[in-house]
Amino acid sequence: MAAHFHSDIETRITARAASLAWDELPPTLVETALSTGEGRLAAGGALAVTTGVFTGRSVKDKFIVRDALTDGKVWWDNSQSMSPAHFEALLADILAAVDGKALHAQHLLAGADPRHELAVSVFTETAWHALFIRNLLIRPETPDGRTDVTILHLPNFSADPARHGTRTGTVIALDMTRKLVLIGGTAYAGEIKKSVFSLFNFHAPLNDVLPMHCSANIGHKGDVALFFGLSGTGKTTLSNDPKRLLIGDDEHGWTTDGVFNLEGGCYAKTVKLSSTAEPEIHAATQAFGTVLENLRLDDRLVPLYDDTSLTENTRAAYPLETLPAVAEGGVGGTPRTVVFLTADAFGVLPPIARLSPEQAAYHFLSGYTAKVAGTERGVTEPVATFSACFGAPFMPLHPTVYGRLLEERLKASSARVFLINTGWTGGGYGVGRRIDIATTRRLLDAAISGELDDAQMRTEPLFGMEVPLRVEGVVPRALDPRASWTDVEAYDATAAKLQQLFAANYRKFEDVRIAAE
């Protein structure tokens, strides 16, 4: 029935559009984008575009249709609902807006595991958005025309709040039952990518697949590692390891027998990108067919990575194969190591700690990092950020659904779980110092290699985690954050404050977990 519905929608789109170009390759899409003034050709061959008013996701304008399937499943405290009637009115109007437009369409796949793949058809009015999503999803060698998910993307369409039940003229509406997405009023391309992820995150647990907002890589002996972490914690940087192959940098599924990448590309942040610190990513941003989003160019058309005049959320979208070391097929076996990354600006958490499965579930549901309040003189108070499952905006179901699946996977796999703090030590932001990347990489290598499996540990009093007493190449004092503070009373007070913030955030999950058990 769903396939018939999608065929009907696509037939209606085809009938209304002035023209419809299917599965165009990057040279054609770049040529069209340049000829229509959608972007500029940067030095090296990347396509540089701007997204106007919206330079990030419009969270308050994202809706899920509340129907028989979603009503009792969606985490409505975290998701805005749209009535079926409003969605139908929106669908009718956005189809009418297709009249006379030249559209670009792509047949793509989401999910490198054939057992769990989604065939995705994307229709958009701009060539650069077609190139973007072609870079980001999996490109089938021979598209077979089938469709599980349909996305109709019209950035120039404006919704009517009175008629469509929206907040503004911007709308991202997901019908989970029919796997249909309507996007209007925003040119920010990340909305397309994250709509696919949100659909996957709703349906995957129903098929016993754990969806994960994480990066993943694999060693030459087949050992898989996962990296969870919010923005600014080092997820992309640390998973791009020259000694290991990248499976994917953002979205994955974990089945009973392994992990798979949902995507076929990367959507990397480019702010202050350095050719010395991240040479592989830097090179990818200059490849032909890469899309540079809101990244300014100089007079020679060279990208200005330090220019944040449009936004700090500058991005590059490129296919995985642009990178030199990528795992074939986008799949890996059962993970041996799971890493939770946090940039603790309070300076309280140890640079590395080992977690039990129960502690891992707690930190997974918490999804903690702490950001600095600002860069003005005298501003030293960190701001705690909690995002359940390290990706709450994209998790339509209640976090405990994903938390229980994670616990099951960890117990079945006996995977090691580590919390790694890439934030501050010796004091919080403004007093202490940021943990250097060389130390973090050394600790990460020790965790993944198994070097810490038999290491002597102490129990950290804040959360009961195990902290190694010694790691080769790291000063022992650096492993104990309390010892690195000159004022231990200040450390104790800050640690107590952080623990209270964790507890207050976690209370919203406790009643649900007790009820489920």
Which residue type, as a one-letter code, is found at position 27?
A: P
How far CA 452 is from CA of 134, 429, 480, in Å, comes to 41, 29, 16
Q: Return d(Cα 335, Cα 224) in angstroms, integer.
A: 4
Q: Coil, strand or helix: which one is 378? A: coil
Nearest CA to 398 out of 512, 251, 228, 503 is that of 512
Q: Report the amino acid identity of residue 163.
A: R
Determine which one of 107, 129, 213, 363 is catalytic.
Answer: 213
Beta strand 466-468 with 258-261 is unpaired
Catalytic residue among 101, 315, 363, 398: 315
Candidates 66, 139, 178, 235; catalytic one? 235
- 296 is annotated as an active-site residue: no
Question: CB-based contacts of 6: which residues, under 8 Å, 6+ apart?
Answer: 121, 147, 148, 150, 178, 179, 180
Is 231 tagged catalytic? yes
Is 315 catalytic? The answer is yes
Cα-Cα end-to-end distance for the chain: 36
CB 26 within 8 A of CB 289: yes
Q: Which of 61, 113, 175, 250 is catalytic?
A: 250
SS (H, E, C) 176-217: CCCCEEEEECCCCCHHHHHHHHHHHHHHHHHHCCEEEEEEEE
User: Which helix (H) or strand (E) segment is 9 a member of?
Assistant: helix 2-16
12 is catalytic: no
**Nearest-10 Cα torsion for 132, 134, 138, 143:** 160
Q: Torsion over CA of 122, 389, 453 and 331, rounded to 10 degrees?
A: -10
- 236 assigned to active site: yes
Considering the candidates 66, 129, 139, 194, report the single residue annotated as catalytic.
194
d(CA 439, CA 443): 6
Catalytic residue among 11, 19, 168, 231: 231
Q: Look at the block and give the residue holding tokens 């989604």.
A: 118
Catalytically annotated residue among 32, 51, 55, 57: 57
List, by residue number, the catalytic residues: 57, 194, 213, 231, 235-236, 250, 315
